[in-house]
Amino acid sequence: MATNWIYMPILKWKQGERMAVKNLTAHQCQDIVVMLELLAIDAAPDAVALKAALPLYLSKIVKDIKSAFPEGACIAVDTRHIAPGYTRQLRLSSVVCKLLGAKTGRIIIPVVSESAVQANPADLKSLNEFPEIILRIRTNAITDEQIPDLIQQVTDAGISGDKIHLVIDQYSIVGEEPVARAALVEKHLAAALAQGCASTTLAGGSFPMNLIGYKQGAVEIGRVEWMVWEIIKGKSGLSGVRYADYTVTNPAPLPADLDTSKVNPSVAIRYTCSNSWRLYKAGGFKNGAPDQYRGLCQLLITDGVYSQSTFSYGDQCYAEAAAHRMGNGNPSSWRRDATNHHIVFTKAQLTR
């Protein structure tokens, strides 16, 4: 039987995101399948170098997955960022996902891209032994008219349609107009649903890449992907579509040459509300004024958008920091709390 979910948060598997998932309760995890985007490996993008580097690379991921997810949990794993220059991406996905499944005791669903399928369709056979796969289709990479042929390539490799979950990914849609965006993606969704696959999920992310240009204080940032979803779910014939998002992070990866030691991130809270994020922003983290984060937490807990400390682990941490029972944290803990609140809040929206 195909795996069911109502919500799929897409996470870059960094420390903040790992801790956000670890601090979800069993009830909060119900009907959620997390998609992990694994980070880059420190190895040349060739078979020999990858084979040598993978055991050590995967040992930490195995440890992190076992710590964050209960035994038997279902997890979607996207390997595209491990070694983008490696030509046999489907083969890499198969190897990594098999090893993770065997070593973690968790159910791993491989996530493959439309470009990987088009580049090496013969390698799809390496995924035959998985009960299910996720085919992630970016709307800016393929037209709705190309979807049937893409699915045909997968089924020609022996993977039946009832084993294929489709994720129609709008990717980064920061600042876009929701009605216009919904009209653009509707054809992709209709074409996907017409293929009779196991499921179709709509994904997208609209949190900015960085906070440059936003003034200090409290501002609103529109959750475009959620507003698009609200439009789409009411459309005739599209009621079976599921929902995914990139939580409080922009979909694009950080530049590979970014020197994080020279970056001074703003102290900030990214707080998910109905159709927006309430961004509370202070000054720079490095050499900034003391207690900036605690001050932002005090603003949050007195704001009408606050969900109260019992709502989620993240909300509890905001209350603790506001009361000076926790420190000011760091960018990783800020992301932990914001992501944890977002996942709980979004699932609650979807189950109302």
Whichever domain contains 57, its CATH number is 3.20.20
- Residue 153 and residue 118 in contact, taking contact as beta carbons nearer than 8 Å: yes
Specify the 3-state DSSP secondary structure of 249.
coil
Residue 258 has pLDDT above 80, yes or no: no
Question: What is the DSSP pairing of strand 133-138 with strand 164-172?
Answer: parallel
291 found inside a domain: no
70 found inside a domain: yes
300 found inside a domain: no
CA quadruple 67, 323, 334, 275: dihedral sign: positive
How many structural domains compose the chain?
Answer: 1
DSSP 137: E
273 found inside a domain: no
Nearest to 305 by CA among 333, 267, 277: 277
118 found inside a domain: yes
- Residue 150 and residue 168 in contact, taking contact as beta carbons nearer than 8 Å: no
* Residue 257 confidence (pLDDT): 58
290 found inside a domain: no
Mean pLDDT of all residues in 313-322: 98
Q: How far apart are the first and last CA of the chain?
A: 26
For residue 49, give its domain range. 7-260
Give tens-digit pLDDT for 53-65: 999 999 999 999 9
Residue 263 has pLDDT above 80, yes or no: no
Mean pLDDT of all residues in 116-145: 96
Nearest to 61 by CA among 40, 80, 46: 40
Residue 1 has pLDDT above 90, yes or no: no
* Residue 264 confidence (pLDDT): 76
Q: What is the pTM of this model?
A: 0.96
255 found inside a domain: yes
* Residue 41 confidence (pLDDT): 96
Q: Structure tokens of 20?
A: 């956000």
333 found inside a domain: no
Average pLDDT, the chain: 95
Range with the poorest average pLDDT among 195-199, 202-206, 289-293, 294-298: 289-293
